[in-house]
Amino acid sequence: MRAAALLLATALCGPLAQAADQGARPLVIAHRGASGYLPEHTLAGYELAAKMGADYIEPDLQMTSDGVLVAMHDDTLPRTTNVADLFVARNGGYKVADFSLAEIRTLTVRPTTTGATTHPGFTPRFAELRVPTFDEVIAFAKAQSALAGRTIGIYPEAKQADPAMEDKILATLQREKYASAADKVFVQSFSDATVKSLDAKQRLLGLKLPLILLGHAITLPDGSAMLAAPGGRMLSLKDVATYAHGVGVAIANAKYPLTKHWVDQAHAVGLAVHGWTFAKADPATAAAEYEGFLTMGLDGVFSNYSDLAVTARNAFVATPK
């Protein structure tokens, strides 16, 4: 399938060509860092993921009241930080957008589900569990790349469908010399409007960043593969391929399971397919899950346990097909 997609892409230009090119080896994307082990979206969590061999670290992005991009999944602070111990609520809550960077810098990030504050045998370079800015994540990725002797990619997600956030992400990436897939970067969003807008804006800036539209993989009764967008709208993969380089799809949708047929249809229009979220902690159970989805043809996996993902990916690649 990958060979077919590559042939198709060779005959095309723009997004499709870039997307299919990335299918040589399934990518391991550290979902919110090594978030199964350490607090999500911390430099320590990203560092552990990089040391475990992840290809990309994934910062979800929110914007502070003074317009700084920070790595955080939620648009509110209490689930992952001690904000309620330090500040009274604002506007009835603790939205990231209501707090300045200086205030957010005072917070400590806490483990949520399976994470802990330390990991056996690992001493982080950045031991303080703070909320990093996007700039700090990029600086970390570059420094870690130099240390590791390989490029640690970045896979930022615009968590708000906000043109100002789009502009800041693109300006930051351009300033930091991320211009195309060769720089090991993806930009993702659940909003098709945002991905379309990013596509248009980056063309004006001369960038060719691979864009990933997130959603749910739906197979209609007639066998057509669609991507469910916000509001339940069904997007045709052919249309998505005109502005996105790939799709990021849920692997655990009970009603609409991801299938090889769906992945094949995405590949047929030149879209790379990355799956989220691989969250099994038990090595044997996780290995079986990775093997099943990689056999379907996934081009990348978002994993909470980078070590398990890398082991499974390497075993998959080493197995004769």
289 binds Ca ion (CB under 5 A): no
Q: Which residue is nearest to Ca ion (CB)?
A: 157
41 binds ligand G3P (CB under 6 A): no
Per-residue exposure over 235-268, b if at least 16 CB sit within 10 Å of its own CB, e if not: bebeebbebbbbbbbbbeeeebebeeebbbbbbb
Residues numbered 263-282 forming contacts with ligand G3P, rule: CB under 6 A: 276-277
Residue 160: name its binding partner from Ca ion, ligand G3P, none (Cβ under 5 to 8 Å by kind). none
What's the min distance (Å) between Cβ of 248 and ligand G3P? 5
Helix (H, G, I), strand (E, B) or coil at 113: coil
Name 236's bridge partners.
226
Helix (H, G, I), strand (E, B) or coil at 205: helix
Task: Give the range of 56-64, 224-232, 236-244, 248-256 binding Ca ion by CB under 5 A.
Answer: 56-64
| Residue 73 or 208 with smaller CB distance to ligand G3P | 73
- CB-based contacts of 257-264 (< 8 A; 24+ apart in sequence): 258/217, 258/293, 258/296, 259/217, 259/219, 259/296, 260/295, 260/296, 260/297, 261/219, 261/223, 261/225, 262/217, 262/219, 262/225, 263/1, 263/296, 263/297, 263/298, 264/1, 264/297
| Residue 94 or 276 with smaller CB distance to ligand G3P | 276
Residue 276: name its binding partner from ligand G3P, Ca ion, none (Cβ under 5 to 8 Å by kind). ligand G3P
Binds ligand G3P by CB under 6 A, chosen from 46, 278, 290, 302: 302
What's the min distance (Å) between Cβ of 35 and Ca ion? 10
Residues numbered 149-188 forming contacts with Ca ion, rule: CB under 5 A: 157
Binds Ca ion by CB under 5 A, chosen from 60, 199, 289, 307: 60
Residues 6+ apart with CB under 8 A from 257: none
248 binds ligand G3P (CB under 6 A): yes
Binds ligand G3P by CB under 6 A, chosen from 188, 191, 194, 303: 188
Residues noted as catalytic: 31, 73
Integer Cα distance of 222 and 231 in angstroms: 22
Q: Which helix or strand (DSSP H or E) is residue 289 part of?
A: helix 283-296
Integer Cα distance of 271 and 17 in angstroms: 9
Binds ligand G3P by CB under 6 A, chosen from 157, 289, 299, 307: 157
Binds ligand G3P by CB under 6 A, chosen from 21, 47, 55, 60: 60
Judged by the rule CB under 5 A, the positions of this chain that interact with Ca ion are: 60, 157
Residues that bind ligand G3P (CB under 6 A): 31, 60, 73, 157, 188, 214, 248, 276-277, 302
